[in-house]
């Protein structure tokens, strides 16, 4: 190792097996055709990709807010991994939305230069987390639902959506395991963690109904073999949640379903004040610098 | 140290198999409440860059190691058994495949 | 026994071999090693904060992913280092306590604020660049677990500096206002970056012992000079000015001459009186306190599971004698 070039040392250690240091990164969309398949409405495909992309983007944002605040350093790593996975899904989906739209926009135009009413994620994604129990409760519901949806999308007639789903399913399977284990640990752990976990489940429960609310875009695309109908994932989500709740020793929450009763849904652009806060933070730098290059 | 604070979670040693055909190799340690959590944490900490296909975790206090002071008694006696190595035996170059 | 151990220790150093955790070592070496590694680990963890504040504000999704992965790496590097310290019998809970009670230090650079997104680029370029200069020689530290952790960290960090420089290069092709923010960030971070190498050799009393123990391979001033020599051409390529009127090529020495940082400021910041010291520590303390019930719950759950597993084994009569 020569000190004449400080960087030489970085390449001096070619014996990578010692560190099990990996290579061989792959592009999940390599070789996937990007034309909108015949018989598919491009506007519907755009809207659907925005829905799924915004879900991931906003949920990832909430996870990013936990960076430097996690209960333990190992969980910093885990939460950042989940946030990165969801951010990656968001980028692929927003890029697909922009392709299908064909208006010359890109992932960054969609993420940073849309107003709140143009976002299409479910409200569950934008909720702030009062504590770690609230985070893992919301994460469990979100990734369980998303896993069920993406699992169905692996057979989508849109090859890009199918490829994104195939990649996402692997990621979400791990996310669900992480969230479920924490719900069980906190439900079972101490009197205080049980109380907090129970309160968190109670708080997230009313947001679940919205996930399955029928919507014309996915329902039309489902008939074209592209999407999963909004209501389709319900049975699997209910089954997983009751299994986890039982393992955690938590009673099924009794809070009423707020999804259909509060006069609007995220899928139609009806959001809470939490989104304004998120967008002010997320879009502030990008919008303050018109013409900026990053 | 009377004011010493011990970490809430025990220490685990982590071993990663880089790819099929290689041994698991010790890569470091981490903290976890139980073995299952330790495997998850190991995945998130030690395989972020596509470094592994398999992980072992072992509670650090379950590891029994040889003593550095026993090094001579343990390892020196094998140093002179040169007949265990193939190069010890002289075979003419003209004899093939041996 | 200690005589033999001491001889073996000295021989190991003479042969430029690695000292391993269970080897005999002088108490001073053990203490110094634990302190050095712990301070390095604390620096990684506290160092997440200045850049971490910008993850949610990053102006493109690519920059957001890069920054998130980078800040996550810093948590990972903190963990590799705590892991190395724990091989010496230190306990991470105890080291964390020392950090949040202000009894152990971390790099003073992280006590400066990040005011614009250009700071993210300049931290990558200058702060990580200085860190690389400091860390690459530590890959040859005489203490094995530290040297191995440093090799892994240096490999992973090779992207950190490049992403920062690439961001700055891109911003310099953007609007005039962006170019100004880059220059402003360089002005603010240049001197603190030079301070990262520690006080001048004349005021660095522990250097001789650390060099003898081979846990420090170059003096502070040597490393600082190396950093300046590497950085000046990079600044020229970028089109920014380094804020030092004394900076000039010295053909005789074959190095750049440069001005002295404000060492009074360095001492002030290190002693806790920097712009962000209190906030950095308070943030870490809050995260630790807010997480306590979570860690306790996980430990309680694990204990219950382990008891249940023991009872199940006992019921099956399969408990080993």
pLDDT in tens, chain C (321 residues): 568 889 999 999 999 999 999 999 999 999 999 999 999 999 999 999 999 999 999 999 999 999 999 999 999 999 999 999 999 999 999 999 999 999 999 999 999 999 999 999 999 999 999 999 999 999 999 999 999 999 999 988 888 999 999 999 999 999 999 999 999 999 999 999 999 999 999 998 888 899 999 999 999 999 999 999 999 999 999 999 999 999 999 999 999 999 999 999 999 998 889 999 999 999 999 999 999 999 999 999 999 999 998 888 888 875 554
Could you tell me the two tokens for A289? Answer: 């610098």
Whether B18 and A185 lie within 8 Å, measured CB to CB: no
Q: Tell me what pLDDT residue B67 has.
A: 86
Could you tell me the two tokens for A157? Answer: 């007639």
Q: Which residues of B touch A21 (CB under 8 A)?
A: 18, 49, 51
Give C72 to chain B, closest Cα distance, Å: 9
Q: Is the pLDDT of residue A96 over 80?
A: yes
Sequence-ordered list of residues with C-beta below 8 angstroms from that of C237, at least 6 positions apart, any chain: none
Question: For B27, which residue in chain A has the nearest alpha carbon?
Answer: A19
- Provide the CATH topology of domain A39-260+272-285: Ferritin (1.20.1260)
Give C95 to chain B, closest Cα distance, Å: 9
Sequence-ordered list of residues with C-beta below 8 angstroms from that of C17, at least 6 positions apart, any chain: none
Characterize A86-103 residue by residue with b for buried, 16 or more Cβ atoms within 10 angstroms of its Cβ, and e for exposed.
Answer: bbbbbbbbbbbbbbbbee
Residue pair C160/C120 in contact (Cβ under 8 Å)? The answer is no
Torsion sign across C-alpha atoms C249, C254, C260, C266: positive
Q: Which pLDDT band holds residue B68 (cuts at 50, 70, 90)?
A: confident
| pLDDT tens by residue, B2-41 | 455 677 899 999 999 998 999 999 999 999 999 999 999 9
Residues C35 and C98: their CA atoms lie apart, in Å, by 11
Q: Which residues of A touch B25 (CB under 8 A)?
A: 17-20
Question: For B60, which residue in chain C has the nearest alpha carbon?
Answer: C87
Q: Is the pLDDT of residue A20 over 50?
A: no
The number of residues making up chain B comes to 98
Q: Which pLDDT band holds residue A22 (cuts at 50, 70, 90)?
A: low
Q: Which residues of A touch B50 (CB under 8 A)?
A: 22-25
| DSSP conformation class of A29 | T
User: Which sequence spans correspond to the domains of chain A?
Assistant: 39-260+272-285
CATH H superfamily, domain B3-64? Phenylacetic acid degradation B (3.10.20.520)
Q: Using CB atoms, which chains have 3+ pairs under 8 A with A?
A: B, C
User: Which sequence spans correspond to the domains of chain B?
Assistant: 3-64
Residues C181 and A223: their CA atoms lie apart, in Å, by 52
| pLDDT tens by residue, A41-61 | 999 999 999 999 999 999 999
Q: Which pLDDT band holds residue A12 (cuts at 50, 70, 90)?
A: very low
* Separation in Å, CA A46 to CA A53, A100, A161, A216: 10, 5, 11, 13
Sequence-ordered list of residues with C-beta below 8 angstroms from that of C309, at least 6 positions apart, any chain: none
Whether B31 and C92 lie within 8 Å, measured CB to CB: yes
Q: Which pLDDT band holds residue A6 (cuts at 50, 70, 90)?
A: very low
The pLDDT > 70 percentage for chain A reads 88
Q: Is the pLDDT of residue A21 over 90?
A: no
| pLDDT tens by residue, A133-165 | 999 999 999 999 999 999 999 999 999 999 999
pTM of the entire predicted model: 0.93
| DSSP conformation class of A253 | P
Whether A292 and C178 lie within 8 Å, measured CB to CB: yes
Q: Tell me what pLDDT residue A4 has.
A: 42
């Amino acid at each position: 190792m020569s000190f004449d070039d400080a960087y030489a040392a970085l390449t001096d250690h070619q014996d990578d097996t010692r560190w099990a240091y990996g290579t061989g990164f792959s592009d999940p969309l390599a070789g996937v055709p990007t034309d909108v398949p015949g018989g598919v409405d491009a506007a519907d495909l755009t809207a659907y990709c925005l829905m799924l992309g915004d879900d991931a983007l906003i949920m990832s944002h909430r996870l990013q807010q936990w960076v430097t605040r996690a209960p333990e350093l190992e969980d910093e790593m885990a939460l950042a991994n989940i946030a990165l996975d969801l951010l990656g899904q968001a980028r692929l989906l927003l890029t697909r939305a922009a392709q299908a739209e064909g208006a010359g926009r890109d992932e960054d135009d969609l993420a940073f230069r849309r107003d709140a009413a143009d976002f299409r994620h479910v409200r569950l994604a934008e909720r702030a987390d009062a504590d770690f129990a609230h985070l893992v409760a919301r994460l469990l519901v979100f990734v369980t639902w998303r896993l069920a949806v993406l699992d169905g999308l692996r057979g989508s007639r849109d090859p890009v959506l199918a490829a994104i789903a195939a990649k996402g399913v692997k990621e979400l399977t791990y996310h669900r395991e992480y969230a479920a284990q924490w719900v069980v640990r906190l439900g079972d752990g101490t009197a205080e963690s049980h109380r907090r976990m129970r309160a968190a489940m109670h708080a997230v429960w009313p947001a679940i109904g919205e996930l399955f609310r029928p919507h014309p875009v996915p329902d039309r695309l489902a008939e074209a073999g592209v999407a999963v109908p909004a209501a389709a994932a319900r049975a699997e989500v209910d089954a997983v949640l009751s299994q986890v709740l039982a393992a955690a020793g938590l009673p099924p929450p009794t809070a009423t379903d707020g999804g259909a009763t509060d006069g609007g849904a995220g899928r139609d652009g009806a959001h809470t004040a939490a989104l304004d806060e998120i967008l002010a933070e997320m879009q502030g730098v990008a919008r303050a610098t018109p013409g900026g290059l990053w | 140290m009377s004011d010493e604070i011990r970490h809430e979670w025990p220490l685990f040693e982590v071993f990663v198999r880089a790819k099929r055909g290689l041994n698991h190799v010790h890569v470091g340690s981490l903290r976890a409440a139980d073995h299952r959590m330790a495997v998850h944490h190991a995945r998130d900490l030690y395989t972020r860059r596509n470094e592994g296909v398999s992980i072992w975790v072992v509670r650090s206090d379950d590891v029994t190691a040889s003593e550095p002071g026993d090094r001579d008694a343990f390892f020196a006696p094998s140093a002179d058994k040169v007949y265990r190595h193939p190069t010890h035996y002289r075979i003419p170059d003209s004899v093939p495949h041996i | 026994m200690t005589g033999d151990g001491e001889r073996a220790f000295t021989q190991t150093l003479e042969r430029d071999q690695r000292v391993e955790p269970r080897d005999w070592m002088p108490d001073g070496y053990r203490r110094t090693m634990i302190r050095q590694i712990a301070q390095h680990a604390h620096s990684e963890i506290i160092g997440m904060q200045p850049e971490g504040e910008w993850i949610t504000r990053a102006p493109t999704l690519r920059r957001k992913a890069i920054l998130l992965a980078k800040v996550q790496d810093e948590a990972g590097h903190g963990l590799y280092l705590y892991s190395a310290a724990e091989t010496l019998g230190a306990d991470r809970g105890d080291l964390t306590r020392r950090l949040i009670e202000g009894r152990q230090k971390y790099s003073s650079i992280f006590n400066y604020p990040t005011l614009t997104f250009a700071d993210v680029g300049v931290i990558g370029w200058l702060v990580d660049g200085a860190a690389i200069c400091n860390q690459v020689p530590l890959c040859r530290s005489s203490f094995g677990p530290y040297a191995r952790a440093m090799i892994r960290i240096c490999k992973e960090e090779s992207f950190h500096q490049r992403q920062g420089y690439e961001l700055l290069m891109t911003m310099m092709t953007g609007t005039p206002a962006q170019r100004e923010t880059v220059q402003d960030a360089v002005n603010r971070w240049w001197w603190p970056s030079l301070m990262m190498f520690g006080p001048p050799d004349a005021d660095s009393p522990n250097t001789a012992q650390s060099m003898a123990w081979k846990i420090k391979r170059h003096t502070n001033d040597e490393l600082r000079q190396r950093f300046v020599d590497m950085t000046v051409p990079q600044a020229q390529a970028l089109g920014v000015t380094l804020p030092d009127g004394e900076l000039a090529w010295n053909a005789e020495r074959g190095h750049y001459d440069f001005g002295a940082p404000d060492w009074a400021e360095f001492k002030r910041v290190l002693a806790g009186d920097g712009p962000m010291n209190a906030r950095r520590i308070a943030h870490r303390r809050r995260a630790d306190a807010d997480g306590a019930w979570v860690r306790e719950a996980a430990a309680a759950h694990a204990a219950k599971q382990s008891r249940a597993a023991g009872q199940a084994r006992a019921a099956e009569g399969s408990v080993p004698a």
